[in-house]
Amino acid sequence: MEAEVAVVGAGPTGLLAAREVAKAGFDVAVLEEHEQVGVPVHCAGLLSLRGLEMLGFRRDEDFVLNTFRGAIFYSPSGLRLCIEARKPLACVVDRKALDVKLATRAGAEGVRLSLGKQVRYILAEEDRVLLGGPWGSMSCLASVVAEGFKSRLVRMLGLRTINWRAVLPASQVEVTARDLDDDFVEVHLGSRVAPGFFAWVIPLGDGRARVGLACRELDPRKALRAFLKRRFGLRLDRAPYSGSVLKCGPIPKTYSGMVAVVGDAAGQAKPTTGGGVVLGGICAILAGRAVVKALEEGRRSLASYELAWRRALWSDFKAMLVLRKMLDAMPDRLLDKAILMADEAALSSMAEEKLDMDRQSTFLLALPKYLFTCLLGLARRAPSSLKRF
């Protein structure tokens, strides 16, 4: 099996990178270890509408299940903070259908998709890249590794892998439940619910929701069962499916010669929420463009990919790492106080004007003004509102 460019992994990042290279006329093969695209699904599927458009999709695609105008945050003691915009800012998608649509688009550009082809080794030589597995081997001019955070190929390339201490086990299930507001995602904070992260409720419409959590020091399946009983009075009649959440941030170097590493394998997921489809997708598109440029110019390095994604996104990853460290350091009592002091009107206004779900450095830039607004609001409140603390 031969190709000019080989992409390892048929998730969103792999397919976006492959399509970008194929559009330039190169022969591209995507090697996927599973027998189906989009299976298994381990993603909550919550994306910003702006991010969806950045990946080349409309807001009314058939894989969009529901849209949201905001989020409701619950503190450890049950205090409620609602951030609401006048128009939808986010959506939840059918991840399998999204992946299939990406595969179809890639195929339309000439990408060859090979299923059931696990890549077990990779070698970046001076003039070619070698890949192989139980199916055989292949030689190519360049490669993109997009096989997920468990990638063994990253270490084979001599690159540092993700920080595994910042990878949390997660569990999720789809349920039918009452007391859902289809316009809002729920975020539940606190050490009793999900220490080290949070629990989420994502309405799908028609009384259904994806409910999940990630945590440290607890079995996420047991924690999820306890949360479902407390929030909805539900008992699971089936096992929830498991996954992982990355809050580690990008690896130090994301290329080796003519091999680029993208998506979860590169740690290109949001440290605040673990979401990686949009930012990982942006990095994958940049990787594809870097491969095209290097091949057209006869260069043997993808250093331009590293420069491109860092120039575009590093400030946002850095801001999210700061936010994640702040959240991890906050005890339940302080989270309660922060929710109590927060100004819903100010946060809602900032959500529409400044807050970007993917480019979260805008939040830090707007934070001083928001805190000043909160302090003014707090000064107008009765002192008794803080007696409980």
pLDDT value at position 386?
42
Domain boundary among 216, 246, 276: 246
**Are residues 183 and 255 part of one domain?**
no
**Are residues 139 and 100 part of one domain?**
yes
The verdict on residue 57 lying in a domain is no
**3-state secondary structure at position 376:** helix
Angle between helical axes of 344-353 and 361-380 (0-180°, round to 10): 160
**Are residues 174 and 25 part of one domain?**
no
pTM: 0.91
Prior bond of 220 cis (ω within 30°)? no
**3-state secondary structure at position 6:** strand
The verdict on residue 53 lying in a domain is no
| Secondary structure of 142-203 in HEC code, one letter for each residue | EEEECCCCCCCHHHHCCCCCCCHHHEEEEEEEEEECCCCCCCEEEEECCCCCCCCCCEEEEE
Phi-psi region of 89 (alpha: psi -120 to 50; beta: other; left: phi over 0): alpha
**Are residues 128 and 228 part of one domain?**
no
**Are residues 147 and 112 part of one domain?**
yes
**Are residues 121 and 28 part of one domain?**
yes
The verdict on residue 118 lying in a domain is yes
User: Which pLDDT band holds residue 19 (cuts at 50, 70, 90)?
Assistant: very high
Domain boundary among 325, 347, 362: 325
**Are residues 136 and 11 part of one domain?**
yes
**Are residues 267 and 221 part of one domain?**
no
pLDDT digits (tens, 9 = 90+) for 177-230: 988 999 999 999 999 999 999 999 999 999 999 999 999 989 999 999 999 999
The CATH number assigned to the domain holding 197 equals 3.30.9.10
The domain total for the chain is: 3
The verdict on residue 111 lying in a domain is yes
**Are residues 334 and 296 part of one domain?**
no
**Are residues 157 and 210 part of one domain?**
no
pLDDT digits (tens, 9 = 90+) for 161-184: 999 999 999 999 999 998 899 999
Alpha carbons 143 and 129: distance in angstroms, whole number:
7
Tell me which of 1 and 44 has the higher pLDDT.
44
The CATH number assigned to the domain holding 33 equals 3.50.50.60
pLDDT value at position 345?
60
**DSSP of 221-238:** HHHHHHHHHHHH----SS
If we measure between CA atoms, which residue out of 342, 368, 336 comes closest to residue 354? 368
**Are residues 353 and 260 part of one domain?**
no
Which residue segment(s) compose the domain that 118 sits in? 5-44+94-162+249-325
**Are residues 193 and 317 part of one domain?**
no
User: Which pLDDT band holds residue 276 (cuts at 50, 70, 90)?
Assistant: very high
pLDDT value at position 41?
79
The verdict on residue 203 lying in a domain is yes
Paired tokens of 215: 């945590």
Position 314 pLDDT exceeds 90: yes
pLDDT value at position 366?
61
The verdict on residue 54 lying in a domain is no
Contact 292, 334 (CB under 8 A): no
The verdict on residue 65 lying in a domain is no
What percent of the chain lies above the pLDDT cut of 90? 76
**DSSP of 117-139:** ----EEEE-SS-EEEEETTEEEE
